[in-house]
Amino acid sequence: MTPEKDNLHKLLKTHFGYDHFRENQLDIIQDIISGKDTLVIMPTGGGKSMCFQLPSLALSGTALVISPLIALMKDQVDALKANGIRAAYYNSTQAPEEIEKVTHDLREGHLDLIYVAPESLSLLDTLLQEIQVNLIAVDEAHCISSWGHDFRPAYTQLGYLKKRYPETPLVALTATADVSTQDDIAEQLSIPKAKRYVASFDRPNLFLDVRPGQNRIQQILAFLDNHPFESGIVYCLSRKSTEQLAQKLRDADHTAKAYHAGLDAKERAKIQEDFINDKTPIIVATIAFGMGIDKSNVRWVIHYNMPKNIEGYYQEIGRAGRDGIPSHTLLFYSYADTIQLRKFIENSANIEYQTAKLERMQQYAEALSCRRKVLLNYFGEFLIEDCGNCDICKNNPEYFDGTTIAQKVLSGVTRLKEQEALGMVIDVLRGAHNASVYDKGYQHIKTFGAAKDIAWKDLQQYIIQMINQGLLEIRFRESGRLLLTSLAKEVLFKGKKVQLANLVQPIVEIPKERKPKKPKGTLFEKLRELRNELARDENVPAYIIFSDASLKDME
Ligand code: ADP
Ligand code: MG
């Protein structure tokens, strides 16, 4: 080991307590120390901060760190101080006394690192010219990209930094790997020659599993029976569902707690701590849970609902198996979830961008080829061989000539005048005798019952595949009605063939016998409890669920 490397390892050990550098860290650190500009792309949790924190200790002077979030800044500074490193932050929320102290320490050269929000940078301008800035780090550098969801206008003004400090190494760091974002960052920060370090996003020890979102609770209970004593996280979309699911898991004798931003800070801290210490092995949480939690032995992560985009999904499953031991990640996918997510997105700014992201997520969930390939591809990486560690690789789908089925579906959609959404299309094709079909008189149309031999779920799968193949289009803004595309006309009128895949049957885990709880109370209450039980079963159509009024009648 060269003396310089030796010294860097010593700094790593004495200040941070770590024995080894992670992938790329040492090279990046050496580049920065030798005055080169760098662009660091590393997944979240990969250890980006170390890349500028360590050089700040090896060089004389102070490192200037631009960081977009006040909370993030504070956490990092607190962690550094706890390690005996002289760090401080400067932003608009500070009291005058605090500002006084920070500027004084900075002027006197008492700081190794100063964290500044981009908006506050100009206020420090004069002072920064008086001191020795040894390096500039732009953290979360993707904020500079105007089409990103984290866009921060103040970031676009950072281009002047390189001009003002041409000799000072500038390092930009982000977890967004997309090549066009990288180019944008390098250009805007005026570091066109910066060496790019792109760490692999692959986490080969994570088993990637996606299953249809039916009977989720039973599937989760069965899953837990097969993973006794293991620690894991279930992510849900809403606070309410975290509470409900945690309760159901407790009812089945699991030690589980709900976690979401609605709980008070003390309670949240306690839940986190009990999770880290293995006192509460199972957390049912919204995405509020996980950021900054360092627990290496999380053995599984379940997504009760599909996340809004692949970045979020990747980050959340990434909390499993940090120790490198095989870990299971399970995503429940249902078409209904995507519709719900579309509705959320419709009310937000940046609809197009978010919709595109959601579509990529949906494609991942519906993929019929190696999932890891799809995932890494998204982050700009290329995997040559199938991974062998995802549900698809373990259980290849079978393709068959689905032309006849596709034609039935397409004529069904035509007969419904392209006015109906997926559920109704399936009901009519299967010849369902229910109120909503009869109300519209659909029992009289020609394609009623044309696909009665296909099970509901299978037909649903086939239609989703047809949507993905571009044969049908969904109008999300018009109650999700299905329309034919021009490609569909080739199937209907020109004999174009359609390949469909048989639904990958989930690796069925047989739930243990569970005794249903005896309902307590009056007859009405008992009936209501049974009714609610039924209503929770996602296989039971809503129209056969009794209302409270009809239960009263029965009583
Ligand atoms: P990022 O900014 O890339 O999301 P962080 O810089 O916050 O990641 O680092 C994530 C975690 O990894 C932190 O707890 C950090 O202390 C830890 N870490 C960083 N470098 C190393 C290392 N060489 N060895 C062990 N842990 C490390
Ligand atoms: Mg970071």
pLDDT of residue 61 exceeding 90: yes
Q: Using the mean position of ligand 2's atoms as its centre, give its distance from the Cα of residue 104 in Å.
A: 27
Is residue 174 within 8 A of residue 295, CB to CB? The reply is: no
| Cβ burial 453-484 (10 Å sphere, 16+ → b, else e) | ebeeebbbbbbbbbbebebbebebeeebbbeb
Q: Locate the ligand 1 atom nearest the alpha carbon of residue 19 and give its number.
A: 24
Is residue 397 within 8 A of residue 503, CB to CB? The reply is: yes
The ligand with the least distance to the CA atom of 319 is 1
Q: Locate the ligand 1 atom nearest the alpha carbon of residue 21 and give its number.
A: 23
Helix axes 371-378, 310-317, angle to 10 degrees: 120
Percent of the chain with pLDDT over 70: 89
Q: Using the mean position of ligand 2's atoms as its centre, give its distance from the Cα of residue 57 in Å.
A: 18
Using the structure block, give the residue that is written with the tokens 């595109």.
Answer: 356
Edge-first strand order for the sheet with 282-285 is 206-212, 327-333, 298-303, 231-235, 282-285, 256-259
Query: Token pair for residue 497?
Result: 């063939």
| Cα–Cα distance measured from residue 14 to residue 346, given in angstroms and rounded to the nearest whole number | 50
Q: In which band, very low, low, confident or very high, does the pLDDT at 509 lie, cut at 50, 70 and 90?
A: very low
Q: Locate the ligand 1 atom nearest the alpha carbon of residue 20 and give its number.
A: 23
Average pLDDT over residues 128-133: 94
Is residue 139 within 8 A of residue 65, CB to CB? The reply is: yes
Q: Using the mean position of ligand 1's atoms as its centre, give its distance from the Cα of residue 46 in Å.
A: 6
Q: Locate the ligand 1 atom nearest the alpha carbon of residue 22 and give its number.
A: 23
HEC string of 84-108 equals: CCCEEEECCCCCHHHHHHHHHHHHC
Q: Using the mean position of ligand 2's atoms as its centre, give its distance from the Cα of residue 143 in Å.
A: 13
Query: In this structure, what is the dihedral angle of CA atoms 171, 176, 181, 185, given to the nearest 10 degrees?
Result: -20
Q: Which of 39-48, 287-296, 335-344, 401-410 has the lowest mean pLDDT?
A: 287-296
Average per-residue pLDDT in the chain? 87
Does residue 128 sit in helix, strand or coil? helix
- The best mutation among 48, 50, 200, 319 to test binding of ligand 1, ranked by most ligand atoms within 8 Å of the C-beta, falls on 50
pLDDT tens sequence across 315-344: 899 999 988 899 999 999 987 888 889 888
pLDDT tens sequence across 204-220: 999 999 998 888 999 99
Query: Token pair for residue 246?
Result: 């945690």
* pLDDT score recorded for residue 510: 37
pLDDT tens sequence across 383-403: 888 899 999 999 877 889 999
Q: Which residue has the higher pLDDT, 329 or 538?
A: 329
pLDDT of residue 14 exceeding 80: yes
Q: Locate the ligand 1 atom nearest the alpha carbon of residue 294 and give its number.
A: 14
* pLDDT score recorded for residue 37: 98
Edge-first strand order for the sheet with 87-90 is 87-90, 113-116, 62-66, 133-138, 170-174, 38-41, 195-198
pLDDT of residue 270 exceeding 50: yes
pLDDT of residue 457 exceeding 90: no
HSE, side-chain direction, 13 A CA sphere, residue 19: 0
pLDDT of residue 507 exceeding 60: no
Q: Using the mean position of ligand 2's atoms as its centre, give its distance from the Cα of residue 53 in Å.
A: 11
Query: Token pair for residue 288?
Result: 């509020």
Q: Which of 83-87, 133-137, 186-190, 515-519 has the lowest mean pLDDT?
A: 515-519
pLDDT of residue 513 exceeding 50: no
List, in sequence order, the alpha helices (H) in 347-455.
Answer: 351-366, 371-378, 391-394, 403-415, 422-429, 435-439
The ligand with the least distance to the CA atom of 44 is 1
Using the structure block, give the residue that is written with the tokens 């029992």.
Answer: 443
Q: In which band, very low, low, confident or very high, does the pLDDT at 413 lie, cut at 50, 70 and 90?
A: very high
* pLDDT score recorded for residue 503: 64
Is residue 221 within 8 A of residue 199, CB to CB? The reply is: no
- Chain-centroid distance of CA 509 in Å reads 25
Average pLDDT over residues 86-112: 95
- What is the chain's Cα-based Rg? 28
List, in sequence order, the alpha helices (H) in 331-398.
Answer: 335-346, 351-366, 371-378, 391-394
pLDDT of residue 97 exceeding 90: yes
Helix H or strand E segment including 248 = helix 239-251
- The best mutation among 49, 75, 115, 294 to test binding of ligand 1, ranked by most ligand atoms within 8 Å of the C-beta, falls on 49
Closest residue CA from atom 19 of ligand 1: 47
Angle (CA) 254-260-266 rounded to 5° is 95
Give the Å distances, CA to CA, from 22 to 25, 29, 199. Answer: 6, 11, 10
Q: In which band, very low, low, confident or very high, does the pLDDT at 555 lie, cut at 50, 70 and 90?
A: low
- Using CB distances shorter than 6 Å, the residues near ligand 1 are 18, 20-22, 25, 42, 44-50, 294
Q: Using the mean position of ligand 2's atoms as its centre, give its distance from the Cα of residue 544 in Å.
A: 51
Q: Locate the ligand 1 atom nearest the alpha carbon of residue 43 and give its number.
A: 3
List, in sequence order, the alpha helices (H) in 1-60.
Answer: 3-11, 25-33, 48-58
Q: Using the mean position of ligand 1's atoms as its centre, give its distance from the Cα of residue 17 in Å.
A: 12
